[in-house]
Structure 1
């Protein structure tokens, strides 16, 4: 490369870098007027004007309302064009499918839900999921392209490939190319992650004022933890970080669905509570759960009965909380989170569950690790996994791969990869 061509390339790189910076400042709300952009970037007024005009031309920004004056004439505010594309979210649970459409700023615009058993396998489950997505996309409204897809599944995932890895409650899903299947259908880049990581990302979005060290513990059909370190997901070397559902419970001989015995999940997860409730009822225990009975007995019904004061349900829920609290105490000593959020069907027992977890964590953890620790329940909004999936797609599009496709005006699978 000649000296002149090297200089031209460097100049083009500088233009692209500053243009990306301008768009990102507006997208994240760190600067919303031209003067603010100038102060944040150090660019001269004329250069800022030029970059803003380029960003508007590319379709990333648009002029908004007049902003308050800081001296002199009123500056015109700028907005990120969150309506240029859509994000699709598919949140798969052990017993349900949730799908949603979001704008590029993560706002959930449409959602749908249906009961579904994940054991139907990947082909049938993804066919049903994508049919739900297609129905939402066809409902009308502005015709906007899909820019990215966030998918959550209830099991370990190799994030680099988008394939589940030996998921205990998902027979037939091991190494299935979920990402490729979704990308082929929707023609947009997709990312696949463990469902609890999506819930952790939703909590990060709720606490967006500052980076947070957080552990989101979901106690539902299974048990898992999503870990945020300074606002960044910690997935581990192979995507297995936070899988506390399969730590060993001392003295337990209960078989787990993973093939081992004595796992925390086999003693404290939702299906374990249902198993123990049935055993107790068959042994003649008196409980309001008798009225539920049969296949209708679920983790949620046990949690609800505990909330209503049923003695058997309270005993089962408190034992689950005791064991989960023991496991979380170890995590607190090792990871030192600022916040632990409890979610999932079993945690809907509320203070009955929360109080026992708190007691065990504070009793077994080091004083320094618990000095500022907050242990709380999730809001319980059914949009939580959808918002988390939108955050996953936004993070990968705008924080990880943006420079690769920025000049094209919209992402493609090839550019993102």
Structure 2
């Protein structure tokens, strides 16, 4: 595998400026980097020789000799792989992390890592054909599980049975011949928000990822914070009550056991069988099972039982956020992954708990909002993950 990337800090800063802000003139970049023109020219030539930077055309005139625009080279391609508990989502982006091609399909993670990772590699190959000829510069991978980032492996993942310590990074890198970075999905989506979402305007924010697995990505001081062993933000298995429901991790009373999609569905089935909800009961009788979409549909349709389930889950999640907000003091909390339609109900309940119970200093001007990226946060964040690695000094 041929390693590419900047050789010094100035090259790394240049690449990140072009990735984050798009094409810019040589004059603007020279000023932003604070480099002498001759030194700047040398660094650009070196990056161009690696196929990372190219001329995009003439810049707008500022008087005198016209400058040229520089951009991330058109042949740069980042792959994104987002493994969900029921879906595999694969995308290809350009160097500015705009999605060029994407494919999502249902998948059962219980088939094992070899099958799922193998399918992801197949889909990346197909997307490369769709997006046009270009080398694959790197691949970012998001897993719904704790990840040892240094090793590129999941660690005791409740949502991924049979995946423990499987070499996800090394398997994909060996097959595709490019750098690969693996992280948990909440961290990856936080990076997506930082690059292209509401988080772009904040140096300090929390991204709360809902779904079957619940997690939290922390961006502090403008950088993703992972903690000493990549375990920061694993809020899904904080214990809310010792005598609570059994969680997939084996403990009782975890946040996920109360607030995760699977938990809400389980509570909805119980309510339907007990005759407490006509809407849920009718759907259960017709389909033989319920999904989170069924719960969301009943809640938005005015079913009081479904609304109570959603609000109870949101209230418990709000209780967790009270502690996080007081401890971290973020500039904003962004919530993603909510089932379609129930975001406003969740948000209202969470805001009520957090604003009522948190210290005024921590929440006086802190917004709590729903993600405006939706399912784009995963692909953009995965591309950002690997580009951060590649656009760093070797």
TM-score, normalised by the number of residues in structure 2: 0.90
Tell me, yes or no, if the aligned pair for 2:89 and 2:104 is still in contact at 8 Å: yes
Tell me, yes or no, if the aligned pair for 1:223 and 1:265 is still in contact at 8 Å: yes
- CA shift in 2, pair 1:227/1:37, >3 Å: closer
Tell me, yes or no, if the aligned pair for 1:38 and 1:44 is still in contact at 8 Å: yes
Match of 2:276 among 285, 305, 318: 285
Query: Hey, what does 2:4 align to over in structure 1?
Result: none
2:24 counterpart of 1:32: yes
Unaligned runs of 5+ in 2: 1-6
* Cα shift readout 1:223-245 (whole Å, capped 9, x = no counterpart): 11111112211111122111111
Return the offset for 1:312.
Answer: 1.1
Tell me, yes or no, if the aligned pair for 1:303 and 1:345 is still in contact at 8 Å: no
Unaligned runs of 5+ in 1: 1-14, 405-417
Quick one: distance in 2 between partners of 1:18 and 1:327?
A: 41
Match of 1:67 among 30, 36, 59: 59
2:294 counterpart of 1:304: no
Query: Hey, what does 1:354 align to over in structure 2?
Result: 347
2:151 counterpart of 1:161: yes
Quick one: distance in 2 between partners of 1:161 and 1:223?
A: 23
Quick one: distance in 1 between partners of 2:277 and 2:51?
A: 65
TM-score, normalised by the number of residues in structure 1: 0.85
1:320-399 to 2 correspondences below 5 Å = 320-346=313-339, 348-379=341-372, 381-399=374-392
State the superposition RMSD in angstroms: 2.4
The alignment partner of 2:240 has SS state of coil
TM superposition outliers: structure 1 runs of 4+ over 6 Å:
none
2:51 counterpart of 1:76: no
* Cα shift readout 1:331-376 (whole Å, capped 9, x = no counterpart): 1011111111112244740221110000111112111000111101
- Work out which of the two has the higher radius of gyration on C-alpha atoms and give 1 or 2: 1
Structure of greater relative contact order (alpha carbons < 8 Å, 6+ residues apart): 2
Return the offset for 1:135.
Answer: 2.3
* Cα shift readout 1:109-129 (whole Å, capped 9, x = no counterpart): 000011112222212221222
Tell me, yes or no, if the aligned pair for 1:212 and 1:231 is still in contact at 8 Å: yes
Quick one: distance in 2 between partners of 1:138 and 1:245?
A: 38
- CA shift in 2, pair 1:295/1:243, >3 Å: farther
The alignment partner of 1:292 has SS state of helix
Query: Hey, what does 1:227 align to over in structure 2?
Result: 218
2:133 counterpart of 1:110: no
Quick one: distance in 1 between partners of 2:125 and 2:34?
A: 45
- CA shift in 2, pair 1:43/1:217, >3 Å: closer
